Amino acid sequence: MKHAVLFALIAAPAFADDPVVEDVTVIGDRFNVTLSHPDTGWDHYADGWEVLDADGNSLGLRVLVHPHVAEQPFTRSLAGVSVPEGETIVYVRARCNVDGWADDLYEVRLTN
């Protein structure tokens, strides 16, 4: 029985951590988002982040087109994000090219 359990553990796939939104700053319609993710190269890397309203509607998507193995955490920006008037809170979520969207949302409180 011990051998079967050991075999099952060895055969289980290894999953990397989800990408994490570490920080967000907003200047006008520009979102500067800092992510961390244990990128391993082209086979597994953080490949984007998205700004969502409180209802989960996408307000902007930043696609990341290459891995950032040696640059962790890293910050990328997206300008032209149109937040509906009156919205005081939005959320940012990150994704990777293997596991998709991370479960955690980063809350951003907007100021005028």
Query: Alpha-carbon distance 63 to 94, whole Å?
Result: 10
Query: Alpha-carbon distance 9 to 7, whole Å?
Result: 5
Phi and psi at residue 69, in whole multiples of 5°?
Answer: -60, -45
Query: Alpha-carbon distance 28 to 77, whole Å?
Result: 12
Residue 4 falls inside a structural domain: no
Residue 30 falls inside a structural domain: yes
pLDDT digits (tens, 9 = 90+) for 71-103: 789 899 999 999 999 999 999 999 999 889 999
- What is the pTM for the complete model shown? 0.81
Where does the pLDDT of residue 112 fall: very low under 50, low under 70, confident under 90, or very high at 90 and above?
low
Residue 8 falls inside a structural domain: no
Residue 31 falls inside a structural domain: yes
Instruction: Specify whether the CB–CB gap between 71 and 34 falls below 8 A.
Output: no
What DSSP element (H or E) covers 11? helix 2-11
Query: Alpha-carbon distance 35 to 48, whole Å?
Result: 9
Tally the domains of the chain: 1
- Strand, helix or coil at 85? coil
The two tokens of residue 8 are 């099952």
- What's the CATH number where 41 sits? 2.60.40.730
Residue 7 falls inside a structural domain: no
Confidence at residue 49, expressed as pLDDT on a 0 to 100 scale: 96
Query: Alpha-carbon distance 7 to 57, whole Å?
Result: 44
Residue 2 falls inside a structural domain: no
The two tokens of residue 23 are 């920080």
| Stretch 11-23: mean pLDDT | 69
As a whole number, the mean pLDDT across the chain is 85
* Domain span including residue 46: 16-109
